[in-house]
Structure 1
Amino acid sequence: MGARERSSGSVSARLQGALEALYGLERHKSGLGLDGSRRLLEALGSPERRFRAVHVAGTNGKGSVCALVERVLRAAGRSTGLFTSPHLVDFRERIRIRGRWASEDELEARLEHIQGLPEGRGRTFFEVTTALGFDRFAAHAVEWPVVEVGLGGRLDCTNVITPEVAVITGVGLDHTEILGDTLEAVAREKAGIVKPGVPVISGAAGAPAAVIEEVAREKGSPLVAAAARVKLRECRVGPGGTRFEAEAAPWGTLALSLGLRGRLQLENAQVAIAALSVLAERGLEIPAGAVREGIAAAAWPGRLEPCPTEPRLWWDGAHNPQGAERLARAWVEDLGFEPPEAVVFAVSRDKDAAAMLQTLARLAPRARLLVTRTRSERALAPAALGERAAELGWPAESEPDVARALERALGRAGRGKVLLAGSLFAVGEAMEALGGAPGEWL
């Protein structure tokens, strides 16, 4: 996932300066590869060899799966880490130790150290951030970090680890200029995290599932289909979350409550429980109570949730056509809502904006559409978004930033709901304006 060009105003000027030196180093195809990361990590004493990890890739849902797995492991008494991207408001969200982000002074000192190393010069934002995360995990004696792939898998900076289990969630078309323009090509890149002999959990279906199966067979890696490993029953989905039963070894049938909303999150929970089941099978003690506690307590902000200060506003970070389809379905089928009265949409230039707008137009054909942009240098201009919407017969109003677009949308929505979608960056900027940022603890 992309870098954010700004962090929260809550960080010190010195740390902000160190972060600004990294921003803008977005990863392009020519910059992909693992050699730089390996050299940098070796210079730091190979911290990635000092913990056992869960490695998670996928087009949609991988962050949620990471949050669920980490929270259950924490409930089981393990010393956990969580490495994810992008952050919504504050850079420190990316690196968490036992649920808490790393201290500002610590990050500032280690960033300065990393950038002062010969191996740290000329490295990308993602290489430095990954090294920083692994360095902090090792320093704090983290036993079990859960590591989210940033982009793809095969050449992602995080792919220097050999995990205890690899996880691949659903596969869709995203970052096609780097990963390929077919589902099979994208699946093969994501399956690049599969290591010889390491179990791989697959939440994919159709052609991508076949590709992952082929790669697992080539690597001699046991393949576990999440839907076969974990049987779900009695699923009740609503605006407050989901209640369901999950049958999985070694726990048998568990009655579970999930705060994350929508059937997509139910599928993510199935994948997470499958990964935990395999870890338990391999000797890690994970009591049934820890599964219940962790699944119930897991939070992953910015995904299909209401704004805490304005209940008419709901936001979701869906930023590709598959995610938009799932969002539209969840709005009607899972939340039981009427179509929103207004839609605020912002998106990055490399996304399929037309396909997402088409889906949202089907969801809310009479809604007012407000197009805007985030502060990201990759943001698509509102004028270009308006042109795409006009081609679909959906007239759009334009605002120069997310905060003003939301203010206008809420003013026009009356008692109806407003939906913000298209970009996690946009959700982050909405949180800056209205509250709801993840904060120090997760």
Structure 2
Amino acid sequence: MRALIIDGYVDEPACLGVPPYMAPYPRYIAGAMIEKGIPEEDISYRTIDQLRAGKEKLNYDITVVVAGTTVPGKYLRATPISMGELRELSHLGGTKILGGPVRLGFGEEGGTSAKELELTGFLPAKQDIEAFVHDILDVPSDPASAGHRMRTTAEVARWGEKGAFIIKQHPDYPYVMCELETYRGCPRHSHCSFCTEPFYGKPDYREIRDVVNEVSALYQYGARYFRLGRQPDLFMYRAKKGVPDPEAIEELYRDIRNAAPELKVLHMDNANPVTLAQFPEESRRIAEIIVKYHTSGDVAALGMESADPEVIRANELKASPDEVFEAIKLLNDVGAARGESGLPELLPGINFVHGLKGETKKTFELNFEFMKKVLDSGLMVRRVNIRQVMTFAGTPMQGYEDLAAKHKELFLRYKEKMRNEIDMPMLRRVAPVGCAMKDVRTEI
């Protein structure tokens, strides 16, 4: 049996799989195929950009398409799969499976509502695509009979190791950035109105040894670039009774370093600012541990989303402006010193989402004023991510997709103002004239 995995790219609140990043999904799928007896030489991997550029004739027994951008962004040199391309692929021969975050709906840009997929020709994975592929291979003569379920951490422990070989087929290899999962699911009792992470349920922590074994397997296949990015809040990994556990974080980082002694990059993503504000002692210790073991130029993305108290209340957002400011200060205290790469060790990134319930013209002013306060305080943020919400069925934002369009022109003016008056002076602070950055790889 010949199998093809097509990477249509994913971008979720707690997972990035757009080049140079490779999400865990294709690796897990490849591992599930290996476990079901398909040999490595019969498993191929292509990105959608590779298919666009080439004239390859696709003739496989099973084709698996991974896709879904639930928090779509602007990408330097990659474009996620389009609906037209999905329709074209649906006409291929053999068994065709479509899954990933696209199961929640298809959308291509913020400020719109994700649409339910209405495609014939594909078997849709209504829950975890890696589990669906695994189970289909139990009944290859009747794939439509396979059920839909969520995979277990024990399964992805096996599949992550067994599927590590697939990175060698990534067009960026050996510079591919391997996104690593520590856990998924939201630990909060109430959830941000727009977020899709709650669809994964409560936190499902992977064992430290399983993450490390996956890193070891990837390293043996030539991986040198890693990001602990597939989790909503790294500081809460293996938390005990809702309290961060610095010892677990240290064990994870130390063992990764031992498993991949000559890695080039070890970065992180996603930290809940409330965690840092409510548990400053534990969070400071975790930040110090990260700086001890990581590579510099690291970013802890803080999902502030809004500085407007009305928007925060209406959308069950995570943190107040004061709490976010405290989180920014803590990360600067620990991570502002320059590391070996020439960049600061560990800085916060700030995420804003527009088009949420309760948004008014005042919201844009409050967001700008907050960032101006950060700038004027002499603090640093590595980057500011500003986007408009994409709404999904089953979230509290369902039915409110018109809010983003209401302020579209104001949003564009505000975004330009933020770029010119906040981003540019902040970048000059982070990377001033004369700053020498080492081992830089340009994308464009």
TM-score (norm 2): 0.30
* More helix by percentage: 1
Higher relative contact order structure (alpha carbons within 8 Å, sequence separation ≥ 6) = 1
